[in-house]
C-alpha cells in the first residue's frame, strides 16, 4: 500500500539535471510516487529516454530542453511546467558540475563557470518558481554536497559553490516560510553517477577514485543515486511538512571524518 504521506498524486514536480545520475533517479522516484514530472536538461535524447521509462510505468512526464544557465531558462522552465501540468508543487535543483582546482590553479573562467551552474542557476530558478510554489504551499529541494559541509583540497570552486547553495537554502527557507514554501537541501558524498567522468576523469581514474572512496566513507562504500532520491522525496513530502532550512548529509558518514 502506498504511504499517503509520500504520495505526489496531483502534484507537479520540476527536476533539473534529470537526464542522468541523481536527477534521473529523483525524477523516476517522483513518477513512481504519482507525481507529474517536468524533466529539465540539455540532452534531449537522454531526457526522452527518462520520459519513456516513466510512461512505460504508467507515469506522466514532460520535457524542457534547456541550459539552466541561459538568461531565459528559469521563466521558460516554470512556464512550460505550468502549461504541461497546471502548477508547480515541487522544485528539485539537481543540475550541477564538478572540477578540480586549487587557489593557485583556478582561473576566473573556471570559477565563474562553476558558480554559474551550481549556484546562480539554482537561485534564479528558485526565484522564478517561488510565486507558483507559494500558490501550492510547495517545496524546494537543492542537491548540494558533502563539500558544502566540509573543506577538501583541490576542489575550491566546487566546494565554495556548494557551501553557498547551503546558505542559499537557509536564507530562502526564511524568506519563503511566510508563503508556506519549504526549502531544504541534501548533501551527498561520493555517488556513482556521470558527474566525475564529465569533469574529464578517465575511466581508470574514476575506477581508482571509487575504490579509494570506499575507505574515506565510514560505511565502507559509495552511494547510489536511488538513495539520494529517497531523501529528496521525503523532504518534498508531507511527512517532512515541519522541516525547512535543513542541509542533510547523506554520505556514509564522510562529513564526520578528518582529511585522509
CA distance 239 to 241: 5
253 phi-psi bin (left φ>0, alpha ψ -120 to 50, beta other): left
DSSP H or E run through 75: helix 73-85
Closest listed residue to residue 236, CA positions, set 59, 90, 132, 86: 90
Q: Is 206 designated active site?
A: no
- Are the C-beta atoms of residues 151 and 214 closer than 8 Å to each other? no
Residues β-bridged to residue 46: none
Catalytic residue among 8, 30, 85, 158: 158
Q: E-strand spans in the chain?
A: 12-16, 36-41, 60-65, 90-93, 139-143, 182-188, 247-250
Enzyme catalytic residues: 158
Amino acid at each position: 500500500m502506498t504511504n499517503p504521506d509520500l504520495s505526489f498524486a496531483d502534484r507537479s514536480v520540476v527536476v533539473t539535471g534529470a537526464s542522468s545520475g541523481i536527477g534521473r533517479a529523483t525524477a523516476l522516484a517522483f513518477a513512481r510516487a504519482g507525481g507529474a514530472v517536468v524533466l529539465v536538461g540539455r540532452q534531449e535524447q537522454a531526457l526522452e529516454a527518462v520520459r519513456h521509462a516513466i510512461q512505460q510505468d504508467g507515469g506522466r512526464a514532460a520535457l524542457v530542453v534547456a541550459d539552466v544557465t541561459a538568461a531565459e531558462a528559469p521563466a521558460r522552465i516554470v512556464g512550460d511546467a505550468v502549461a504541461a501540468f497546471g502548477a508547480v508543487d515541487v522544485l528539485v535543483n539537481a543540475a550541477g558540475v564538478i572540477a578540480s582546482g586549487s587557489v593557485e590553479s583556478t582561473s576566473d573562467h573556471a570559477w565563474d563557470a562553476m558558480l554559474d551552474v551550481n549556484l546562480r542557476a539554482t537561485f534564479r530558478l528558485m526565484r522564478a518558481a517561488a510565486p507558483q510554489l507559494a500558490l501550492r504551499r510547495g517545496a524546494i529541494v537543492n542537491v548540494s554536497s558533502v563539500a558544502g559541509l566540509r573543506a577538501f583540497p583541490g576542489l575550491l570552486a566546487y566546494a565554495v559553490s556548494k557551501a553557498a547553495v547551503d546558505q542559499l537554502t537557509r536564507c530562502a527557507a526564511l524568506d519563503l516560510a511566510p508563503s508556506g514554501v519549504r526549502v531544504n537541501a541534501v548533501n551527498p558524498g561520493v555517488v556513482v553517477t556521470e558527474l566525475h567522468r564529465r569533469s574529464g576523469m578517465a575511466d581508470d581514474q574514476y575506477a581508482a577514485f571509487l575504490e579509494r572512496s570506499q575507505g574515506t566513507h565510514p560505511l565502507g562504500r559509495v552511494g547510489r543515486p536511488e538513495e539520494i532520491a529517497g531523501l529528496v522525496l521525503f523532504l518534498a513530502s508531507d511527512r517532512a511538512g515541519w522541516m525547512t532550512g535543513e542541509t542533510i548529509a547523506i554520505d556514509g558518514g564522510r562529513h564526520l571524518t578528518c582529511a585522509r
